[in-house]
């Protein structure tokens, strides 16, 4: 017995000795943290200034909760949705509605190859280019949500007008001036931008630096030179840019380049870093190139260049103190702007696709059945509905975060990546359903323009492949993780004592964090997350989803830590693993936004199928992404262990079931509150335009269907002879049914109206043998002057309604003008 006690005491003493270095902080720092810090510094390359700027740009909000392993759902619902002010709502209902009525994708693309001149002038005169500029400078001073609503609605009508409006209100001179400009620069430029006197563009992309924008070879050398007859300090800049939206018509060029100071005129460094400057396009040496044509989209886009162009130091945004600060400026502005413009335009495009395709699927018949009743088409419609609900929810939540003062760099990247990707899926499904109607271009085509132009959004503001594989998790793991950024900062700290103290605190905090997530992930997996706590008042039917997302959050945090620990710096090169981890974080954000919107809208029961579909689809994809990470760990034993921890009882999540897809599709092919909420803020247009015509045909179809069933029942019962002579059809059968008293004359007229509208919907456009090429001559004024955007934009004076009408009439009456075609002009109501 004494020997046993002695043995146990010795074992306890040994355990205490082993634990002492980890429990006693001074010992721990000397024996554990110091050698690990040395090792970390050896394996971790020193962070460049541009890398630090990118990592530190923006803020962490709900993404931090998702990465915590235990999201506080009450924090999600603390994010109040932004409401439109009366002025913002009035602008949306009137100015935006009017602008939508003035344009169409077909006319801009096939007739004008640009926005019509009177449209350019209306955009400038009504303040569309200055939505984000405060009222004190003459702008509209709109919220991020109002900006998003405007772009969304414009995108349901015409991509070119949406891009023209969104670019000046996104990353560019206006936003950079607001945040970093000097008072003098703000007072001079912001009123001109707000009133449309100046048209801005921002030039970043170089032929040799696209996605790797930080390595742009464009440069400016600090020197003295002549400006307006005086010798001043400035920069001599050389650049070559392309893909610059609004560049061909811009009057104010925002320019990014790397600044050098070899003579040390402003400091003691040779390489100052990336710098942003403003240059009037009329400045000597600025060369505005010709136009690009991005996939048949005709928004103004093109190259520009300059060689040894001298600009005064006052041309740098923020003046001399901001030399070399351009990359941080761009990253901070992009953190917010990227979450508004492209998510809004692509959500608008998806709303157009869903509303029009749902109506078409009910109106168009094959085999005597609406094509929307076929399960193959129903499956595509269900995807469209579920995707759009999640997209619109993500757009609204991201805009509300920006309006709270956040600069959600990670979440804006997720919004841009996944809304544009899902928009592509929605438009592809719409095209598959439209079939031949969708592939024949013309004024009656409701989906062809969106189908052609969707890759533009995939490519710009961070190509989606790059964003998914390098940015979402690469930036998210550092910014959203509670300890990684602190560990990295400690390895870069030059003060040895502070570095050791900070590293020790971060490292052991990280280890405790990982241990908790290990235990939590295993427990949630073994119990199916049924006992996970939800600290918010949520819809009972949705409560299970919050528990499942808590489980996925814990699994993400644990798997990310294991990946970083096992792969180290190699994780940066393992882009597919990084991309899959980013997919899990993205799925959690999209689910969060979907559930947030459902609560925000007051839990409308009719919208529940959209929510169920979107969340189940996202959780299944998150599960698949986690499996992809685990299966590709370089150590098979580690992968097997992680699978047992994360999925101890197998795969818990499945794709949305067919019955759920049926409920979603049913809501898209018939009028109702759910369809209206899903496609809210969609421009319908005139009755004889594609969307207006589809809406009329859908309404007529609902009236006609019960009448047609009554006729069919009469035929089956023998009360009506359905034998038709050659050349006879539905009209003769309806007349016969009217004579027999089976239907009324009013119902017969409703059937005729239905047939007329359906015939107009299913027709496709045709053209002369040369596809009208002989007619596509330059549009001119009566005086013979080409009606170019430059002509339209040269006069900054406000345009009256009378003048606008005269401009439109002048264009229409020009002998070289092409009259805008209408798909169904003259169709009787």
Residues annotated as part of the active site: 461
Q: From CA 564, how far away is CA 578, in angstroms rounded?
A: 10
H and E: helices and strands count for the chain: 35, 9
The answer to whether the CB of 314 falls within 8 A of the CB of 388 is: no
Which DSSP string do the residues of 730-772 spell out, in sequence order? Answer: HHHHHHHHHHTTSS-HHHHHHHHHHHHHHHHHH------TTTT
User: What is the rounded CA–CA span in Å between residue 762 and residue 823?
Assistant: 11
State how far the alpha carbon of 545 is from the alpha carbons of 112, 284, 601, 611, 615, in Å: 50, 61, 18, 10, 8
Number of CB atoms found within 10 A of residue 11's CB: 10
Instruction: Please give the Cα distance from 539 to 712 (Å, whole number).
Output: 44
DSSP letter (8 states) at residue 240: E
Confirm if 322 and 332 have CB atoms less than 8 A apart: no
3-class secondary structure, 306: strand
Handedness of CA 652, 654, 656, 657 (dihedral sign): negative
Integer-rounded Cα radius of gyration of the chain: 31
Which tokens go with 785? 């002057």
> How many residues belong to the chain?
829
Compute the distance between CA of residue 735 and CA of residue 537 in angstroms, rounded to an integer. 59
**Is the torsion defined by CA of 357, 455, 176, 95 positive or negative?**
negative
For residue 304 the two structure tokens come to 């520009």
As a whole number of angstroms, the distance between CA 4 and CA 612 comes to: 61
CA–CA gap between residue 598 and residue 389 (Å, rounded): 10
Which residues pair with residue 511 across a beta bridge? none
Residue environment code for 548-585, b if the CB has 16+ CB neighbours within 10 A, otherwise e:
bbbbbbbbbbbbbbbbbeebeeebeebbebbbbbbbbb
Between the alpha carbon of residue 434 and those of residues 446, 450, 711, 821, 827, the distances in Å are 9, 13, 29, 21, 22
In the chain, the N- to C-terminal Cα span, in Å, equals: 103
Q: Decide if 449 contacts 105 (C-beta within 8 A).
A: yes
Query: Treating both helix axes as pointing N-terminal to C-terminal, what angle do 801-813 and 117-125 enclose, rounded to 10 degrees?
Result: 170
Residue closest to 276 by CA, chosen among 364, 208, 201: 201
Three-class SS of 405-439: CCCCHHHHHHHHHHHHHHHHHHHHHHHHHHCHHHH
Could you tell me the CA-to-CA distances from 365 to 359, 368, 433, 434, 722 in Å, in that order? 12, 6, 12, 12, 20
| CA 274 vs CA 222, 293, 328: distances in Å | 13, 29, 9
Alpha carbons 293 and 297: distance in angstroms, whole number: 6
Q: Please give the Cα distance from 304 to 299 (Å, whole number).
A: 16
Structure tokens at 157: 């009508």
């Amino acid at each position: 017995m004494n020997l046993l006690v002695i043995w146990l005491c010795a074992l306890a003493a040994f355990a205490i000795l082993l634990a002492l270095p980890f429990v006693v902080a001074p010992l721990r720092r000397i024996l554990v943290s110091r050698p690990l810090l040395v090792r970390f510094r050896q394996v971790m390359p020193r962070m460049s200034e541009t890398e630090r700027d990118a990592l530190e740009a923006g803020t962490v909000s709900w993404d931090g909760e998702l990465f915590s392993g235990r999201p506080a759902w009450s924090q999600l619902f603390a994010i109040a949705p932004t409401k439109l002010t009366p002025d913002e709502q009035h602008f949306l209902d009137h100015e935006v509605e009017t602008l939508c009525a003035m344009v169409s994708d077909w006319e801009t693309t096939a007739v004008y190859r640009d926005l019509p001149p009177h449209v350019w002038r209306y955009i400038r005169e009504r303040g569309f280019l200055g939505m984000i500029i405060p009222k004190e400078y003459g702008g509209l001073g709109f919220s991020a949500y109002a900006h998003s609503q405007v772009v969304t609605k414009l995108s349901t009508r015409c991509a070119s007008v949406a891009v023209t409006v969104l670019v000046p209100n996104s990353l560019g001179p206006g936003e950079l001036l607001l945040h970093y400009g000097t008072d003098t620069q703000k007072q001079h430029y912001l009123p001109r931008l707000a009133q449309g006197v100046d048209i801005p563009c921002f030039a970043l992309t170089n032929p040799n630096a696209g996605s790797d924008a930080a390595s742009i070879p464009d440069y400016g050398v600090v020197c003295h030179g002549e400006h307006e007859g005086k010798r001043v300090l400035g920069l001599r800049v050389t650049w070559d840019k392309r893909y610059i939206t609004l560049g061909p018509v811009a009057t104010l060029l925002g320019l990014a380049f790397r600044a050098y100071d070899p003579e040390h005129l402003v400091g003691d460094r040779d390489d100052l870093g990336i710098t942003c400057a403003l240059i009037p396009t009329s400045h000597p040496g600025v060369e505005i190139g010709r136009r690009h044509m991005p996939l048949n989209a005709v928004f103004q886009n093109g190259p520009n260049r300059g060689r040894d162009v001298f600009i005064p130091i006052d041309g740098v945004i923020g003046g001399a103190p901001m030399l070399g600060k351009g990359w941080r400026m761009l990253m901070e502005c992009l953190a917010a702007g990227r979450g508004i413009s492209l998510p809004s335009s692509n959500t608008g495009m998806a709303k157009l696709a869903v509303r029009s395709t749902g109506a078409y699927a009910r109106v168009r018949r094959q085999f005597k059945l609406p094509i929307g009743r076929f399960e193959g088409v129903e499956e595509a419609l269900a995807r469209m509905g579920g995707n759009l609900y999640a997209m619109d929810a993500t757009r609204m939540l991201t805009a509300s975060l920006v309006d709270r003062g956040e600069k959600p760099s990670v979440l804006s990247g997720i919004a841009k990546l996944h809304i544009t990707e899902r928009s592509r899926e929605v438009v592809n499904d719409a095209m598959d359903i439209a079939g031949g109607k969708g592939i024949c271009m013309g004024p009656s085509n409701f989906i062809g323009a969106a189908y052609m132009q969707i890759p533009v959004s995939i490519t710009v503001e961070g190509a989606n492949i790059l964003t998914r594989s390098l940015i979402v998790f690469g930036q998210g793991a550092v910014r959203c993780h509670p300890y990684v950024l602190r560990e990295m900062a400690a390895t870069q700290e030059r003060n040895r004592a502070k570095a050791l103290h900070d590293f020790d605190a971060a490292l052991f905090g990280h280890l405790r964090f990982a241990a908790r997530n290990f235990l939590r992930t295993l427990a949630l997996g073994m119990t199916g997350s049924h006992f996970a706590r939800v600290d918010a008042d949520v819809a009972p039917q949705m409560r299970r989803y919050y528990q499942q997302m808590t489980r996925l959050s814990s699994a993400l945090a644990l798997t990310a830590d294991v990946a970083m620990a096992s792969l180290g710096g190699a994780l940066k090169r393992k882009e597919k693993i990084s991309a899959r981890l980013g997919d899990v974080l993205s799925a959690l954000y999209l689910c969060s936004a979907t559930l947030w919107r459902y609560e925000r809208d007051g839990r409308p029961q009719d919208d529940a199928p959209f929510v169920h579909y979107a969340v189940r689809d996202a959780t299944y994809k998150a599960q698949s992404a986690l499996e992809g990470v685990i299966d590709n760990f370089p150590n098979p034993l580690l992968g097997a262990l992680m699978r047992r921890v994360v999925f101890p009882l197998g795969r818990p999540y499945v794709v949305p079931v067919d019955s759920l897809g049926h409920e979603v599709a049913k809501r898209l092919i018939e009028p109702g509150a759910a369809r209206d909420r899903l496609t809210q803020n969609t421009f319908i247009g005139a009755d004889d335009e594609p969307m207006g015509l589809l809406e009329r045909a859908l309404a007529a179809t609902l009236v006609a269907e019960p009448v047609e069933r009554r006729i069919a029942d009469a035929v089956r019962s023998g009360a009506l002879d359905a034998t038709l002579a050659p050349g006879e059809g539905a009209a003769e059968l309806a007349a016969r049914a009217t004579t027999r008293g089976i239907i009324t004359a009013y119902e017969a007229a409703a059937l005729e109206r239905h047939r007329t509208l359906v015939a107009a919907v299913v027709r496709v456009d045709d053209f002369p043998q040369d596809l009208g090429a002989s007619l596509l001559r330059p549009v001119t004024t009566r005086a013979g002057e080409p009606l170019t955007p430059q002509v339209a934009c040269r006069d900054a004076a406000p345009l009256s309604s009378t003048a606008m009408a005269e401009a439109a009439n002048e264009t229409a009456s020009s002998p070289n003008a092409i009259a805008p075609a209408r798909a169904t002009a003259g169709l009787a109501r």
